[in-house]
Chain A
């Protein structure tokens, strides 16, 4: 059994000059699962991804990838991980097969071993009939599949993907996730994927949520959502700040103003709405009730919206 975590971070920090991009981040990525790094742009997930991909040095803290220390054995780590970057790393002037063969050579594969591996990956990813086409003639979805094939060519134990669904239409995005799930389930590959999309975070087995370089939440999507008690209410009002104070005082529960709306987490939200409207009816423009989403988790942990929208009072 694979009990050891595939990736283990301990107090990892990284800065670009003055700017702190990661601040003492620690977590484990379990082996054989799809693990999501969720966070808004600038949250630190891409920096973390680049450290894991060995493109950035470990400045402080410890990172162990497949039990190898990333700081001292980057070369050994490189041969075991597959990396799919956000910007395409394919040579558009070359064919699909040529791209894969070059990649194979970079990882020490050649001859019939390489040929077999290329053929099997192409068929697994449904690319066989485009094998001799130049990459520039492929659609975004197909090119992304070639990227993944490239990352998988040397049969890595860990596959790192940075925002893999960038530029994909919904169909291609679904297809990509089917492919990732299959990799985990059938080949036991550990998949780490960065995303800024909540619905993608939802598909992961486990998640780390990053904001401003800090780890703000860690767990399975379901656990994270359950960590918020009951229901989430969003209330639009003409004067949200004063109404939030009044609600908090009247019902004795935390009411926060986030992105111009009042948010309340409470048990039995449908009953609470009745009391709320009876008490403050005229001051409320609208109320919506929902099950907690990952965005609610983010809001609860950080006190601000996932997207940098105008904050209160603007």
Chain B
């Protein structure tokens, strides 16, 4: 009996497995898959762009700028940061919906059987989704000069940083929704009744002026602070005044960080639980 442990002694016990390596591998996989599926590029950028052009043109006449906005603000200008957030949201949805496919098709079980922490699995997915979201939303935001916005290098950097935070948050939100589901139809249902309304009621699509119940919904919606934060950063050359419908940047950043921490926390907590669902 004493010889037993020696028999199976393994030099691999001394190998250091860098924590970042599986995260890098899983994130890279997201990117490679994305660029091999053209339809995803069209889905994540095309639809928001179409919304922006069509709604921008259609609602031009009926749009009244909110109290905090310059009087000559067009609807397309108002809608601009909201579309960027929609691109982030769509990208997050598309990249986390693949968790359900990975589970169904079998890729996920191979990952779950590997000697890596569940945290690394979550972070791999979130990093991959974040890079994709930032790339696409960033590409769209490059149209800023057309909207009469001039971004200094410092502002550009700040916008990029805020986009990263927002993308990470929304990808984590997608992750925690997708992880327990076993059909993509279920995810689509949640997308239509939770994620899309969340975006619609974030001040992205129409301003949260006034007092009615709607303005309260908008105020408690954490995404409102994401959209407002991005809006404030984009307008940092010509600062917008503090106003009811537009929280200060400090508030936006704080709420978004807390929202991010909650989403990531729940996503990791869910993934940590080993259940019979993992073995499909």
Contacts and interface: CB of A to CB of B under 8 A. Distances in A.
Interface of A: 2-4, 16, 31, 50, 53-57, 66-68, 75-76, 78-80, 83, 85, 87-94, 98, 101-103, 105-108, 110, 150, 154, 157
A2 B115 contact: no
A78 B36 contact: no
Contacts of A105: 21-22, 24-25
23 contacts: A31-B7, A53-B279, A55-B279, A56-B274, A56-B279, A67-B4, A68-B8, A78-B115, A83-B110, A89-B108, A89-B110, A91-B29, A94-B32, A103-B114, A105-B21, A106-B114, A107-B114, A108-B15, A108-B21, A108-B115, A110-B18, A154-B12, A157-B8
A49 to B, nearest CB: 9
B72 interface: no
Q: Which applies to chain B's interface (DSSP): helix, strand, loop or mixed?
A: helix
Contacts of A101: 25
A103 B116 CA distance: 11
Contacts of B114: 78, 103, 106-107
Contacts of A87: 105-106, 109, 280
Interface of B: 3-5, 7-8, 10, 12-13, 15-18, 21-22, 24-26, 28-29, 32-33, 36-37, 105-116, 274, 276, 278-280
B263 to A, nearest CB: 24
A68 B7 CA distance: 11
A205 B232 CA distance: 71
Contact of B278 (A2, A55, A67): A55
A2 B107 contact: no
Given A83-B113, A105-B22, A107-B114, A157 B10 contact: yes
B5 A67 contact: yes
Contact of A89 (B7, B8, B109, B115): B109
Closest 5 CB pairs of A and B: A108-B17, A89-B110, A105-B25, A87-B106, A78-B115
Contact of B22 (A4, A50, A106): A106
A89 B109 CA distance: 7
Contacts of A78: 113-115
A31 B37 CA distance: 45
A67 B29 CA distance: 35
A55 B12 contact: no
B110 A56 contact: no
Nearest to B102: A91
Given A105-B22, A105-B24, A94 B29 contact: yes
Question: For B107, B110, B276, which residue has the most chain A Cβ atoms within 10 angstroms?
Answer: B110
B276 A16 contact: yes
Contacts of A68: 8
